Amino acid sequence: MLLENFPKCLKSLKKYLKKSVCSILVGIFFFVCIPPIPTVFAKCSILRKVNMTSKEVAITFDDGPSLTYTPQILKLLKQYQAHATFFLIGERIIPYQKLVVSEWQAGNEFGNHTYHHILLTGRTENQISQELSLTEKAMHQVIPQAGKLKWFRPTRGRSNAKVCSIAQQMGYRTVLWSIDSSDWQNPSPEKMAQRILEQIRPGDILLFHDQGGNRTSTIRALRIVLYGLHNENYKVVTLSQLYTDKEKGDQK
Protein backbone atom coordinates (compact mmCIF):
# COMPACT_ATOMS: atom_id res chain seq x y z
CA MET A 1 0.00 0.00 0.00
CA LEU A 2 2.80 2.36 0.90
CA LEU A 3 4.69 1.60 -2.31
CA GLU A 4 1.56 2.25 -4.37
CA ASN A 5 1.11 5.74 -2.83
CA PHE A 6 4.80 6.66 -3.00
CA PRO A 7 4.67 8.28 -6.49
CA LYS A 8 1.73 10.46 -5.42
CA CYS A 9 3.50 11.48 -2.21
CA LEU A 10 6.68 12.33 -4.14
CA LYS A 11 4.73 14.43 -6.62
CA SER A 12 3.00 16.37 -3.81
CA LEU A 13 6.33 16.92 -2.04
CA LYS A 14 7.94 18.34 -5.17
CA LYS A 15 4.98 20.66 -5.67
CA TYR A 16 5.19 21.87 -2.05
CA LEU A 17 8.94 22.43 -2.21
CA LYS A 18 8.57 24.35 -5.45
CA LYS A 19 6.05 26.70 -3.84
CA SER A 20 8.19 27.09 -0.71
CA VAL A 21 11.33 27.93 -2.70
CA CYS A 22 9.40 30.50 -4.72
CA SER A 23 8.06 32.08 -1.54
CA ILE A 24 11.54 32.24 -0.05
CA LEU A 25 12.99 33.79 -3.20
CA VAL A 26 10.24 36.41 -3.34
CA GLY A 27 10.87 37.26 0.32
CA ILE A 28 14.61 37.64 -0.28
CA PHE A 29 13.92 39.87 -3.29
CA PHE A 30 11.72 42.27 -1.31
CA PHE A 31 14.14 42.30 1.64
CA VAL A 32 17.25 42.97 -0.44
CA CYS A 33 16.04 44.90 -3.45
CA ILE A 34 13.26 47.07 -2.08
CA PRO A 35 14.32 49.53 0.67
CA PRO A 36 12.10 49.94 3.74
CA ILE A 37 9.66 52.83 3.75
CA PRO A 38 11.25 55.53 5.92
CA THR A 39 9.35 56.97 8.88
CA VAL A 40 7.96 60.39 8.03
CA PHE A 41 8.35 62.81 10.94
CA ALA A 42 6.09 65.80 11.36
CA LYS A 43 7.53 69.25 10.80
CA CYS A 44 8.85 70.69 14.02
CA SER A 45 9.73 74.31 14.75
CA ILE A 46 12.82 75.19 16.75
CA LEU A 47 12.76 78.25 19.00
CA ARG A 48 15.80 80.48 18.61
CA LYS A 49 14.38 83.85 19.54
CA VAL A 50 11.07 85.34 20.68
CA ASN A 51 9.73 88.13 18.49
CA MET A 52 8.77 90.93 20.85
CA THR A 53 9.30 94.65 21.40
CA SER A 54 9.58 94.83 25.20
CA LYS A 55 13.13 94.88 26.53
CA GLU A 56 13.40 91.33 27.82
CA VAL A 57 15.91 88.56 27.15
CA ALA A 58 16.42 85.00 28.37
CA ILE A 59 19.79 83.73 29.56
CA THR A 60 20.26 79.97 29.41
CA PHE A 61 22.97 77.71 30.81
CA ASP A 62 23.88 74.26 29.49
CA ASP A 63 25.60 71.17 30.95
CA GLY A 64 25.13 71.80 34.67
CA PRO A 65 24.85 71.79 37.47
CA SER A 66 28.36 72.46 38.73
CA LEU A 67 29.39 72.73 42.38
CA THR A 68 32.05 75.26 41.40
CA TYR A 69 30.29 77.60 38.97
CA THR A 70 26.52 77.27 39.38
CA PRO A 71 26.48 78.84 42.88
CA GLN A 72 28.44 81.83 41.55
CA ILE A 73 25.91 82.22 38.74
CA LEU A 74 23.01 82.06 41.19
CA LYS A 75 24.64 84.77 43.28
CA LEU A 76 24.99 87.08 40.27
CA LEU A 77 21.43 86.44 39.11
CA LYS A 78 20.12 87.31 42.57
CA GLN A 79 22.22 90.48 42.67
CA TYR A 80 20.58 91.75 39.47
CA GLN A 81 17.11 90.32 40.21
CA ALA A 82 17.45 88.13 37.14
CA HIS A 83 16.28 84.59 36.43
CA ALA A 84 17.59 82.00 34.01
CA THR A 85 16.78 78.67 32.40
CA PHE A 86 19.20 75.86 33.20
CA PHE A 87 19.40 72.98 30.70
CA LEU A 88 20.52 70.15 32.95
CA ILE A 89 22.31 66.94 32.07
CA GLY A 90 20.05 64.28 33.55
CA GLU A 91 22.74 62.11 35.12
CA ARG A 92 23.92 65.13 37.18
CA ILE A 93 20.53 65.92 38.71
CA ILE A 94 20.42 63.39 41.54
CA PRO A 95 24.14 63.57 42.52
CA TYR A 96 23.80 67.38 42.79
CA GLN A 97 20.19 67.54 43.91
CA LYS A 98 20.78 70.12 46.66
CA LEU A 99 22.16 72.48 44.06
CA VAL A 100 19.25 71.77 41.71
CA VAL A 101 16.83 72.58 44.53
CA SER A 102 18.71 75.86 45.15
CA GLU A 103 18.32 76.79 41.50
CA TRP A 104 14.59 76.07 41.70
CA GLN A 105 14.05 77.95 44.96
CA ALA A 106 15.75 81.02 43.47
CA GLY A 107 12.99 81.24 40.85
CA ASN A 108 14.84 79.74 37.90
CA GLU A 109 13.52 77.04 35.60
CA PHE A 110 14.92 73.94 33.94
CA GLY A 111 15.19 72.39 30.52
CA ASN A 112 16.10 68.89 29.37
CA HIS A 113 19.62 68.53 27.96
CA THR A 114 19.54 64.71 27.58
CA TYR A 115 20.56 62.26 30.29
CA HIS A 116 24.07 61.28 29.14
CA HIS A 117 24.91 64.40 27.09
CA ILE A 118 25.17 62.43 23.86
CA LEU A 119 24.46 63.45 20.28
CA LEU A 120 20.98 62.26 19.32
CA THR A 121 20.98 62.73 15.55
CA GLY A 122 22.33 59.24 14.88
CA ARG A 123 20.28 57.45 17.54
CA THR A 124 17.15 55.32 17.26
CA GLU A 125 13.71 56.60 18.21
CA ASN A 126 13.80 54.53 21.39
CA GLN A 127 17.23 55.85 22.39
CA ILE A 128 16.12 59.44 21.86
CA SER A 129 12.96 59.08 23.91
CA GLN A 130 14.88 57.27 26.66
CA GLU A 131 17.42 60.12 26.96
CA LEU A 132 14.57 62.56 27.54
CA SER A 133 12.45 60.37 29.81
CA LEU A 134 15.38 59.45 32.09
CA THR A 135 16.09 63.14 32.67
CA GLU A 136 12.40 63.76 33.30
CA LYS A 137 12.30 60.99 35.91
CA ALA A 138 15.40 62.30 37.68
CA MET A 139 13.92 65.79 37.86
CA HIS A 140 10.59 64.47 39.15
CA GLN A 141 12.42 62.52 41.84
CA VAL A 142 14.27 65.62 43.06
CA ILE A 143 11.60 68.30 42.56
CA PRO A 144 8.20 66.70 41.90
CA GLN A 145 6.45 70.05 42.28
CA ALA A 146 8.39 71.42 39.30
CA GLY A 147 5.99 69.57 37.01
CA LYS A 148 6.65 68.49 33.45
CA LEU A 149 9.74 69.96 31.80
CA LYS A 150 8.72 71.79 28.65
CA TRP A 151 12.01 72.94 27.11
CA PHE A 152 14.53 70.71 25.36
CA ARG A 153 17.96 71.54 24.00
CA PRO A 154 19.87 68.81 22.15
CA THR A 155 23.54 68.25 22.89
CA ARG A 156 25.70 70.83 21.05
CA GLY A 157 22.48 72.15 19.54
CA ARG A 158 22.51 69.38 16.94
CA SER A 159 19.04 68.28 15.92
CA ASN A 160 17.12 66.96 12.94
CA ALA A 161 13.50 66.23 12.02
CA LYS A 162 13.50 62.94 13.95
CA VAL A 163 14.96 64.35 17.17
CA CYS A 164 12.78 67.44 17.13
CA SER A 165 9.62 65.50 16.27
CA ILE A 166 10.11 62.91 19.02
CA ALA A 167 10.77 65.67 21.55
CA GLN A 168 7.61 67.40 20.41
CA GLN A 169 5.59 64.20 20.78
CA MET A 170 6.86 63.97 24.34
CA GLY A 171 5.62 67.48 25.09
CA TYR A 172 8.84 69.43 24.59
CA ARG A 173 9.64 72.56 22.63
CA THR A 174 13.14 72.43 21.16
CA VAL A 175 15.14 75.57 21.99
CA LEU A 176 18.47 76.75 20.62
CA TRP A 177 19.69 80.36 20.88
CA SER A 178 20.08 83.63 19.01
CA ILE A 179 23.34 84.69 20.70
CA ASP A 180 26.10 82.23 21.55
CA SER A 181 28.53 83.50 24.18
CA SER A 182 31.12 81.07 22.74
CA ASP A 183 32.39 80.61 26.28
CA TRP A 184 33.36 77.06 25.31
CA GLN A 185 36.12 78.66 23.20
CA ASN A 186 37.35 80.47 26.32
CA PRO A 187 37.64 84.02 24.93
CA SER A 188 38.46 86.86 27.29
CA PRO A 189 35.50 87.91 29.50
CA GLU A 190 35.64 91.46 28.14
CA LYS A 191 35.46 90.39 24.49
CA MET A 192 32.73 87.90 25.26
CA ALA A 193 30.59 90.47 27.06
CA GLN A 194 31.22 93.22 24.50
CA ARG A 195 30.11 91.03 21.61
CA ILE A 196 26.94 90.01 23.44
CA LEU A 197 25.97 93.53 24.44
CA GLU A 198 26.56 94.84 20.92
CA GLN A 199 24.21 92.21 19.48
CA ILE A 200 21.50 92.16 22.14
CA ARG A 201 17.90 92.82 21.06
CA PRO A 202 14.51 92.23 22.70
CA GLY A 203 13.54 88.55 22.74
CA ASP A 204 17.07 87.22 22.38
CA ILE A 205 18.02 83.87 23.89
CA LEU A 206 21.60 83.76 25.17
CA LEU A 207 23.70 80.62 25.54
CA PHE A 208 26.24 80.11 28.34
CA HIS A 209 27.63 77.01 30.07
CA ASP A 210 27.96 76.46 33.79
CA GLN A 211 29.87 73.17 33.53
CA GLY A 212 32.06 71.18 31.15
CA GLY A 213 35.31 73.06 31.59
CA ASN A 214 36.84 76.07 33.28
CA ARG A 215 34.00 78.59 33.39
CA THR A 216 35.83 81.37 35.21
CA SER A 217 35.62 83.58 32.09
CA THR A 218 31.91 82.81 31.85
CA ILE A 219 31.31 84.10 35.37
CA ARG A 220 33.28 87.30 34.71
CA ALA A 221 31.56 87.89 31.38
CA LEU A 222 28.15 87.24 32.93
CA ARG A 223 28.79 89.92 35.54
CA ILE A 224 29.55 92.46 32.79
CA VAL A 225 26.55 91.38 30.70
CA LEU A 226 24.10 91.59 33.60
CA TYR A 227 25.42 95.02 34.54
CA GLY A 228 25.10 96.22 30.95
CA LEU A 229 21.58 94.85 30.54
CA HIS A 230 20.54 96.44 33.82
CA ASN A 231 21.83 99.84 32.66
CA GLU A 232 19.87 99.47 29.41
CA ASN A 233 16.69 98.62 31.36
CA TYR A 234 16.49 95.05 30.10
CA LYS A 235 14.74 92.38 32.15
CA VAL A 236 16.46 88.99 32.31
CA VAL A 237 13.78 86.32 32.60
CA THR A 238 13.20 82.60 32.15
CA LEU A 239 12.17 81.20 28.78
CA SER A 240 8.65 80.61 30.07
CA GLN A 241 8.37 84.21 31.27
CA LEU A 242 9.75 85.51 27.98
CA TYR A 243 7.17 83.52 26.04
CA THR A 244 4.33 84.55 28.38
CA ASP A 245 5.22 88.24 28.16
CA LYS A 246 5.40 87.98 24.38
CA GLU A 247 1.88 86.55 24.25
CA LYS A 248 0.61 89.29 26.57
CA GLY A 249 2.15 91.86 24.27
CA ASP A 250 0.43 90.31 21.25
CA GLN A 251 -2.94 90.60 22.97
CA LYS A 252 -2.61 94.36 23.59
Q: Is 230 a catalytic residue?
A: no
Residues sharing a CB contact under 8 Å with residue 187, sequence separation 6 or more, in sequence order: 217
**Catalytic residue of the set 62, 63, 204, 210:** 62
Residue of 192, 180, 184, 186 whose CA lies nearest to 228 = 192
For 215, half-sphere exposure in the C-beta direction (CA atoms, 13 angstrom radius) is 24
What is the spatial distance between Cα 101 and Cα 111, in angstroms, rounded to a whole number?
A: 14
Q: Is 209 a catalytic residue?
A: yes
Residue of 130, 90, 141, 92 whose CA lies nearest to 111 = 90
**Catalytic residue of the set 63, 113, 183, 209:** 209
Residues sharing a CB contact under 8 Å with residue 163, sequence separation 6 or more, in sequence order: 120, 121, 128, 154, 174
Burial class (CB in 10 A: 0-12, 13-18, 19+), 8: exposed
What is the spatial distance between Cα 162 and Cα 172, in angstroms, rounded to a whole number?
A: 13
Q: Which residue type sits at 227? A: Y
Question: What number of helices (H) and strands (E) belong to the chain?
Answer: 8, 8
Residues sharing a CB contact under 8 Å with residue 27, sequence separation 6 or more, in sequence order: none
Residue of 130, 129, 72 whose CA lies nearest to 106 = 72
Annotated active-site positions, please? 62, 209
